[in-house]
Each structure stands twice: as structure tokens, then as C-alpha cells.
A and B are shown apart, each in its own frame.
Chain A
Amino acid sequence: MTAEVSAGRYRYLEERARWRGIEIAFWLATLLPFFLFESYLSLASQVAITALFAVSLDLILGYAGIVSLGHAAFFGLGAYAAGLISKYGWGEPLSGLVLAAACAGLVGYAASFIIARFRHLALIMITLGLSLLLHEAANSASWLTGGADGLQGMRMWPLLGVFTFDLYGVAAYAYSLAVLFLVFLVARRLVHSPFGLSLRGIRENALRMPAIGAPSRAHIRKIYTISAVMAGAAGALLAQTTSTVSLEVLGFQNSADVLVILILGGAGRLYGGVLGAIVYMVARDQFSGVNPQYWYFWIGLLLIAVVLLLPNGVLGGLARWTEALRASARRRGAP
């Protein structure tokens, strides 16, 4: 009896975790830039990095319901850690990436003890405050970070000892895409596990979950740390592929941007962040001639429209639309 029930439960998760054709097609399509848009490869690598950052935010915001206005803290930590490691003599990308992500993860783990205790306005303020604190620290410690001028003098060794990061961005895109795909696999596995389910439970009702045996705070600490590692990896990728780190990686604007990207794509959906990153970065590249001030006018309007009209982002809207189509098809087919 018990075995049957639990088998039923796992069947639900297995059903959700099955790879769909459209997903495989999507990941195959990410290889297209190598052949079709060779002059846009460095943009493509920026998109992949941003997508990774958005996926990391999605895990805490979309799944666990932790509203963070300061996720750039971990992105920036990863970027500065990777930059400093390579500046002081160790330019090997892969180990640098792992070290930088681990740095962000350590700080994330420490911060998670604070994060897990708060909700609502205090939580928003604390996430914002922590990122502002790091931003100020990086700004003041200019002997280490270069302050407002950014970190100069990174020397990256070739990837795997063979592929150099050049202006064309072939190695950069391949590297970023590979890391994005691997991290995405981890995120996908997490989301479709019993742990991922209980995270969604915490998002819906943080008080009730402990009552049915899922420790909310421990779960929040875990996912926050994981998310910090992923955001750190994204930051490290940016530092390694561009060989500079600017102070903006820690700025509030960066936190706000990734939030916009995730919301635009659809929070609480694995592909929301990826889709949002593609749309946002490509649009920004197309309109790069426009004064950035005005660019934010449209982003602001878009945000207002998404919140009022498409509460679950583009992907949520698509899902609702296909649902409605299917329902009407069923109705037509039934009688």
C-alpha cells in the first residue's frame, strides 16, 4: 500500500522530469550561432552568462519565493574572485571558475542563515543591504579591486590548454554554453526532485511546510547556497571571457536587470530565465544606439505591462494560451 502511494508520487515527478522534444530542439538550436551568426558569438556568450544568472535567481525567487533585490552580490563576488585569481598568477579557466563559484557559495551559505529568518519587507531590505555593502566594499578597497576603474590586468590561459579567448568569441561562447548547460541540468534535476517540490510548498505557505515535516529554513539555506554558487559561476564566466571586471557587476542595476529578465521570461519556470535573457540581451544589442536612459523607459513600460497583463511572464502567457487552445479543441472534438 505505502509502496504504491510513494510510487504514484514519484511517477508524478518522473512525468514532469521527462525530456520533451521541444527542449531537445531548444538546446540543439543554441548551437546555431556557431554556424549562422558568427559575428554575434560574443553577444551569444553574454546571453548564455545572463541566462545562467537568471536561472540561479529563478531557483530562489521562482521556486522558493525568496524575493531578492540584491542577487548581483553573488554574481559580482564570482566575477571579482575569478578576476583576482587570474590576476595573481593562476589563469587556468576551469579551476578558476570552480574556485570563484565556491567563494560565492561560501558567502551565500553565510548569508543564508540571515535570509532564512526573514520575509516581506525586511527580507527585501536585507538582500538589498548586503549587495550595497559589497558594492561599497569593492569600491573602497581599490588597492585590490581597482575601485571604480574596474579590475585590470587579468591574464587568462587558453581553455583546456588549447582554445584561447579571442575577439571572435568562439571559445567564449562554447565555454559559457557548456557551463550553462551543465548548471541547467543540475537545476532541472533539483526542481524535479522531492526537494524541489517542497521548495514550491515553501513558496506557497512557509508556515505549513514545517508542520508536514519539511524544515523550511534548512531548505531555504540549501537552495540559497546553491543559487549563490550558480550566480558566482555566471559572474566568473563574465570575468574570464571578457578579461575585465567592472564595479557595475555588483550594482543595484545589475540586480534589477536580472529580475526584469526573469520576470519577462517567467519566474518559476526553468526556461523562463533563459528565454528572458535571450529576448532582453538581443533587444538591448539591437537598440544599443539608443541612449540607455531611454532604453529603461521601454523596460519600465514592459515591466508594468508584464505585471498587469502577463503575471507569469512570456512563458506563463504561452502556457495559458496553449491550454486555452487545447481546451477549445477538446470542446469542439467532444460532441
Chain B
Amino acid sequence: MLGSLFGVVFDGFAYGMLLFVLSVGLSVTLGMMNFVNLAHCAFAMIGGYVVVTLMNGFGWPFFATLPVAFVVAGAVSVVLERTLYRRLYRASDLDQCLLTIGIVFVSIAAAAYLYGTIQQPVQLPAYLRGSVVFQGVNFAVYRLFLIAAALAITLVLVVSLEYTRFGAQVRAAVDNQRMARGLGINVDRAFAITFALGSGLAGLGGALAIEMVGLDPGFAFSYLIYVLIVVSVGGLGSIRGSFGAATLLGISDSAGKYYFPQLGAFLIYLVMIGLLMWRPAGLFGNR
């Protein structure tokens, strides 16, 4: 009983870390510009397909593909940001939602055209497969790797936001965009860079997600809902909040699936609505 509880928490934590990598970029960019970017998971999907193409088409090793996934997703997002998003920074929520839903539709259709609608298979290197048994509990190696990677990313993010000049500019822009502009911070530039980094992280998340949740063209929509839950429950612009919300969501999702399989995702949505009603700005948000 305790063993299974521990296993569920471990799996849930690994899942939560995946959700964190997928959503942290959206949280920061939403906090900065209030831009409702529903296409965030489309960038994650790009990362996933980059990995699939490089590994299955060109025989690259798994680890070599991850930086490429990051760079390609970031680069695509910058192009879209400069051409489309930029025009709608001052538009209504609705227009932003519609533009980005449009991008999601296009990306899903493009992925289905190029790769078909089936799940993409990926052959991981041998040392990432299998599992280790410790104290009678099974730990999948890939999940351990995922947790380690996510914790490393978190550390890099926190350090660069807290201790670099650029990080200070980003924090200033999240706290009060107009005041930051008044102080001479180039918010547009900071936003463009953050947007690219955040989308790149999403791409990396999409690449890491293939092994755990699979990859098909529906990815851009099916994980969007989870990402939005993390962002809105965690609070905009808060890395701490996203981390907490992602962990909470991952663990409660895997616990729900394990202990109450007949309820499905019901529990998650209920918890989300409850939390949002209690604190509309999110658990760690201050707006």
C-alpha cells in the first residue's frame, strides 16, 4: 500500500516536472504582456517532431536532438512573434485567443499532413530504458532523468532570473510593465527574448514528453488544457507558482487515475475551478 502510494507520487512528480517544463515559458510571457497565447503547445509539438525527424530520419542520438528541438521551437516562435503576435499586444483577449487558436489549427493540420495522425515512435538509448528497484519500489530510469532535467532547468531559470541583469529586467516588466518602460527598460526586446526562450523550453518539453505521453497532431490541443491549468492555478509570471501548480497537478492527476480511474479527468477540472474561484489570480499570483 505504502509502496504503491510512493510509486504514484513518484510518477506524478515526474509528470508534473514535464508539465512544468512545458508551461513555465507561457507563465512568464503571460505575466509580462498579458498575451493569451493558446499556441504555446504548438511550439512544444514542433520540438517533439524535430526529435522524431532527426532520430528516425537521420539517426541522430537522442541527446543531440534535444538542443535542436529547443532552438527550432524558439526560432519558429520568434518568427511568429515578430510577424503576427506583435500586432495584437494591445488587442482584446478575444482577438489574441482567436489568432492563437488559428495558429493551433494550422499547426495540427500541418503536422497531420507531414507525419500522419498516428503516434510517433521513438527508440530511446538503452541506458534511459528499464527501471531500477529501490526499497521495493520501481523507478523508471526515464522518469528519474526527466526529474533531474527539470530540476536543472528550474535551477538555471531561477538563478538567471534572480541574479542577472536581464532577469531583473524581466522581473521588473512582469511586476509593472509601464513602470519598467518608464525606467528605460526595453520591454519589447526583453519580451521577445523571453518569448523565444519560453517557447524553446516548450519545445524541449515536447521532446521530453514523447516517451511519456506520446506525440500525435492532437498534442497541441490536448496538453494545452493542462498547461493552461498550471499557468492559471500557479499565477502569472511566477516560476515558483508554476512549479508548485505543476507538481500538484501531476501528482493529483496520476493519483486520480490510479485510485479513481472511473472519474477520469473530472477531479482535475473540479480542483482547478475550485482553486480559481478561491484565488482568481492563482495560488502564487499577486494580481
Nearest CB to that of A142 among chain B residues? B262
Main SS of chain B's interface residues? helix
A12 part of interface (Cβ distance < 8 Å): no
Nearest CB to that of B96 among chain A residues? A307
Is A252 in contact with B102, judged by CB distance below 8 angstroms?
no
Is A306 in contact with B98, judged by CB distance below 8 angstroms?
yes
A291 CA to B265 CA in the complex, in Å? 29
Which of the candidate stretches B53-61, B179-187, B228-236 sits at the interface with the other chain?
A: B228-236
B94 part of interface (Cβ distance < 8 Å): yes
A124 CA to B228 CA in the complex, in Å? 10
A252 CA to B228 CA in the complex, in Å? 14
Which of the candidate stretches A86-94, A97-105, A115-123, A229-237 sits at the interface with the other chain?
A: A115-123
Is A296 in contact with B105, judged by CB distance below 8 angstroms?
yes
Interface string of B43-83 (1 = CB under 8 A from A): 00000000000000000000000000000000000000000
Q: When the two chains form the complex, which single residue of B109, B113, B262 contacts A140, counting CB atoms closer than 8 Å?
A: B262
Residue contacts A-B, CB under 8 angstroms, 5 given: A118-B280, A122-B276, A129-B273, A260-B101, A308-B87
Residues of B within 8 A of A301 (CB): 102, 106
Q: Nearest Cβ in chain A — how far from B252, in angstroms?
A: 15
Is B273 in contact with A133, judged by CB distance below 8 angstroms?
yes
Nearest CB to that of B93 among chain A residues? A67
Most-contacted residue by chain A among B99, B105, B264, B265 (CB, 10 A): B105
Is B264 in contact with A297, judged by CB distance below 8 angstroms?
no
Is A304 in contact with B272, judged by CB distance below 8 angstroms?
no
Interface size on B, residues (CB 8 A): 48
A263 part of interface (Cβ distance < 8 Å): yes
Interface string of A272-297 (1 = CB under 8 A from B): 00000000000000000001011111
B133 part of interface (Cβ distance < 8 Å): no
Residues of A within 8 A of B264 (CB): 136, 139-140
Is A133 in contact with B266, judged by CB distance below 8 angstroms?
yes
A256 CA to B270 CA in the complex, in Å? 21
Q: Give B residues with C-beta under 8 Å from A.
A: 30, 34, 36, 84, 87-88, 91-95, 97-99, 101-110, 112-113, 117, 217, 221, 225, 228-229, 231-232, 236, 262-266, 269-270, 272-273, 276-277, 280-281
Residues of A within 8 A of B270 (CB): 133
Q: Give A residues with C-beta under 8 Å from B.
A: 61, 67, 69, 114, 117-118, 120-122, 124-126, 128-130, 132-133, 136-137, 139-140, 252, 256, 259-260, 263, 267, 291, 293-297, 299-304, 306-308, 311
Do A125 and B232 form a contact, CB below 8 Å, given A114-B277, A140-B264, A293-B109? Answer: yes
Is B110 in contact with A124, judged by CB distance below 8 angstroms?
no
Residues of A within 8 A of B102 (CB): 299-304, 307
Q: When the two chains form the complex, which single residue of B94, B112, B236, B266 contacts A67, counting CB atoms closer than 8 Å?
A: B94
Is B276 in contact with A125, judged by CB distance below 8 angstroms?
yes
Residues of A within 8 A of B232 (CB): 121-122, 125
Residues of A within 8 A of B107 (CB): 300
Is B263 in contact with A303, judged by CB distance below 8 angstroms?
no
Most-contacted residue by chain B among A263, A307, A311 (CB, 10 A): A307
Is B276 in contact with A300, judged by CB distance below 8 angstroms?
no
Q: When the two chains form the complex, which single residue of A69, A114, A296, A311 contacts B97, counting CB atoms closer than 8 Å?
A: A69
Most-contacted residue by chain B among A121, A132, A259, A311 (CB, 10 A): A121
Nearest CB to that of B266 among chain A residues? A136
Q: When the two chains form the complex, which single residue of A140, A259, A300 contacts B266, counting CB atoms closer than 8 Å?
A: A140
Is B103 in contact with A121, judged by CB distance below 8 angstroms?
no
Residues of B within 8 A of A133 (CB): 266, 269-270, 273
Is A296 in contact with B108, judged by CB distance below 8 angstroms?
yes
Is B225 in contact with A132, judged by CB distance below 8 angstroms?
yes
Residues of B within 8 A of A302 (CB): 102
Residues of A within 8 A of B94 (CB): 61, 67, 263, 267
Is B98 in contact with A128, judged by CB distance below 8 angstroms?
no
Residues of B within 8 A of A114 (CB): 273, 277
Residues of A within 8 A of B98 (CB): 259-260, 263, 303, 306-307
Is A252 in contact with B221, judged by CB distance below 8 angstroms?
yes
Do A304 and B106 form a contact, CB below 8 Å, given A293-B113, A293-B117? Answer: yes
Residues of A within 8 A of B93 (CB): 67, 120-121, 124
Residues of A within 8 A of B280 (CB): 117-118, 122
A133 CA to B269 CA in the complex, in Å? 6
A154 CA to B36 CA in the complex, in Å? 41
Residues of A within 8 A of B236 (CB): 121
Do A303 and B273 form a contact, CB below 8 Å, given A124-B36, A136-B265? Answer: no
Q: When the two chains form the complex, which single residue of A118, A137, A256 contacts B101, counting CB atoms closer than 8 Å?
A: A256
Is B97 in contact with A293, judged by CB distance below 8 angstroms?
no
Do A132 and B265 form a contact, CB below 8 Å, given A121-B236, A296-B109, A297-B109? Answer: yes
Is B106 in contact with A125, judged by CB distance below 8 angstroms?
no
Q: When the two chains form the complex, which single residue of A69, A125, A293 contacts B217, counting CB atoms closer than 8 Å?
A: A293
Residues of B within 8 A of A118 (CB): 276, 280
